[in-house]
Structure 1
Amino acid sequence: MSHEPLVLVHGAFHGAWCWNEVIVELAALGRPALAVDLLGHGLRAARPGALLRRPFDPGAFATEISPVAHVNVARAAATLSEEVRRVARGTPVTLVAHSMGGPVVTRVAQENPDLVARLVYVSGYMPASHVAPLAYLERPEFADSLVPALLTGDPSVIGALRIDTRSDDENVRRALRETFYGDVPEALADAAIALLGCDAPIGLAAQTTRLTAEGWGSVPRTYLRCTRDRCVPPALQDVFINEADRAFPENRTVVASLSTGHSPFMSAPRLLAETICRLSLPRRAGTAAEHLVIP
């Protein structure tokens, strides 16, 4: 078993907290792991004043400029790269990215391939070279996603994808649960919703990265498909995998399918930990890809 450190990177609206149960399971398997907050998220988040102002003004909430609008992939990746250097201490790490954490680890691996032993995308955005994650929202494979119905305001104006995490409207809360935590017990899902940030910096979804064979294309990668995902539909996950394999056929993606919703770190933390360990074994770039279906 590989014993490179694992660095766990969350997706939009989330924070390092979402990996807590997985870290426990990884420790039980003998794998050291660290979860970090991306810029603009978790303890590094900043919320628009309109979110907490009472009486609540939906119009003000939808139009207030995001305090994290300045965050983009380049800044987030630079911060993550520095954290990886501190953790690695000369040993490349396995970077595990969920959802919109994908573009950030992609940039890290492109700019610093020596820091990364393997990339693991968990239902993650894995955009092709020079393609912004936002472009995939226009594709037919994204049509089944429940995310657009959650968003308020114009992201290009306020600088963020924005959701109302404090709403007392049960329809809104049900939509949040179905989108992010469809296979998570309701009480646990509600606890997670209370921890979500309301703004995901648009720069994480709007900025592109140029991928090269010497950079990102040289790093072994694994993709964990979540087959019941209502946020990043499985059809879109397959687009990411197929585009990557066409661009870098000498280093094909190792793929596993998990029968979970968007957040297996909450619905199936033990299974996720075991799968990450199983599929983060050392593998020389260019060896044959594999596709596993995991119950």
Structure 2
Amino acid sequence: MTTSRRELFKYGSAALAGAGLAACGGGNAAAVDKPAYVLVHGAWHGAWTYQKVIPELAALGHAAIAVDLPGHGLEALFPSSYFGRPLDAQAFATEVSPLAAVTVEQCADRVIAAIDQMRAGGFSKVILVGHSLGGVTITRVAERVPEKLISVVYLTAFMLADGQKALDALLSPEAATAEVLPLLKADPAVVAATRIDFASTERAYLAAAKSAFYGDVSDAAFRAIANLLTPDEPIALSATATAKTVSRWGSVPRHYVKCLLDRAIPPALQQRFIDAADAFTPMNKTIVHPMNTSHSPFISAPKELGALLAQISGY
């Protein structure tokens, strides 16, 4: 048994997009001339991630659309054991995820559809932004459709080397201080997902989750956010080897927003991604933008993040 918000999906990222498009003038010629943004969330999140950032971009004249990746946000699927409280730890640790079959290609398809939606609306200059594990998806998108992007932005994200997997990166020395793996409540090989219990009643566990992802937001803000987070992230996003080429992915100008207080993807690991990418495409190096925030500046510093993304556009 699974629980779905699929019926509500039609109101999800489209609603966020509508807010951004309307506020920046919609079909106004000057607005269309400015780059538009397609925003991709990270693991366990949804399009709501960018709810506070889209108005900031709109105020600066930029359209933006946030995407719910398959199985997230308003079409999220949950293991049935997640709703049993007190939690049956054994069931939660062994129930196969309803997202087990989701692939990186399906996630890329979803994002490319949003890019095409923007372009069909007259926004020919598209900047693709991916947060955290969303970096896996945007890398695939940039490899598949580089001609549809003017730049790509990794927001403290997995900018993996060719052939690398996200799980491999999390086991590297640069990830030694990362606080994510201890939160997992199941073996990914068993449940076909990386699984976290954001509905936990254990104070110490929730405090650890907050520290990993939202260390610089209030406890009250995190309580609200925890109710939006979903427990499962498809295993494919962490266990699929990245495939990219210099001629396609490497041809797109790229930026990296390096979050200096991040405890999910530590700064040392972020720098490793940057160094590897620059070695892969030495003629197209990463432009790095530091932010003095935790893993989630879209909540802790949305105004600053919106201004930074607008600055990246060059308009």
TM-score (norm: length of structure 2): 0.87
AA partner of residue 8 (structure 1): L
Partner of 1:11: 42
Q: How far, CA to CA, are the matches of 1:79 and 1:175 in structure 2? A: 32
From 136, 141, 144, the counterpart of 1:103: 136
Tell which deviates more after alignment, 255-264 or 36-45. Answer: 36-45
Note if 1:65 corresponds to 2:96: yes
Q: 1:272 aligns with which of 297, 305, 311?
A: 305
Instruction: Select which of 226, 233, 241 maps to 1:193.
Output: 226
The 1-side partners of 2:115 and 2:79 are apart by 30
Residues 65, 114 of structure 2: 8 Å contact kept: no
Q: Does 1:252 align with 2:285?
A: yes
SS at match of 1:121: strand
Pair 1:22-2:85 in alignment:
no
Higher mean displacement: 224-233 or 84-93: 84-93
Q: Which residue of 2 aligns with 1:51?
A: 82
Q: Does 2:184 align with 1:134?
A: no
Which amino acid counterpart does residue 302 of structure 2 have in structure 1? P
Q: Give the letter aligned to residue 175 of structure 2.
A: F
Matches within 5 A, 1:130-169: 130-169=163-202
Separation in 2 of the partners of 1:92 and 1:212?
22
Note the residue ranges of structure 2 that are not aligned, 5 or more in a row: 1-30
Residues 147 and 231 of structure 1 are in contact (CA less than 8 Å); yes or no, is this contact kept in structure 2? yes
Runs (5+) with no aligned partner, structure 1: 283-295
Equivalent-residue separation in structure 2 for 1:92 and 1:82 (angstroms): 15
Q: Aligned ranges for residues 150-229 of structure 1 at < 5 Å?
A: 150-229=183-262
CA distance in 1, matches of 2:169, 2:85: 36
Give 1:8 shift: 0.8
- Compared with structure 1, are the counterparts of its residues 210 and 56 closer, same or farther at alpha carbon in structure 2 (3 Å cutoff)? closer
- Alignment check: 8 A CA contact 1:5 1:88 kept: no
Match of 1:124 in 2: 157
Asked if the contact 2:34/2:125 (under 8 Å) is kept, the reply is no
RMSD of the TM alignment (CA)? Answer: 1.4
The percentage of aligned residue pairs carrying the same residue is 45
1:243 aligned residue: 276
Matched pairs, number: 282
Read off the aligned partner of 2:303 and give its amino acid letter.
R
- Secondary structure of residue in 2 paired with 1:251: coil
Letter matched to residue 91 of structure 2: A
Cα deviation, residue 72, structure 1: 1.9
Aligned-partner SS, 1:47? strand
Q: Which residue type is aligned with residue 251 of structure 2?
A: S
Q: 1:7-50 deviations in whole A, cap 9, x for unaligned?
A: 11110000011110111111111111111111121122210000
Give 4+ residue runs of structure 1 displaced > 4 Å after superposition: none
TM-score normalised according to structure 1 size: 0.93
- 2:136/2:160 contact within 8 Å kept: yes
User: Which residue of the partner structure matches residue 42 of structure 1?
Assistant: 73
Between Structure 1 and Structure 2, the one with more helix by share is 2
Shift of 1:212: 1.3
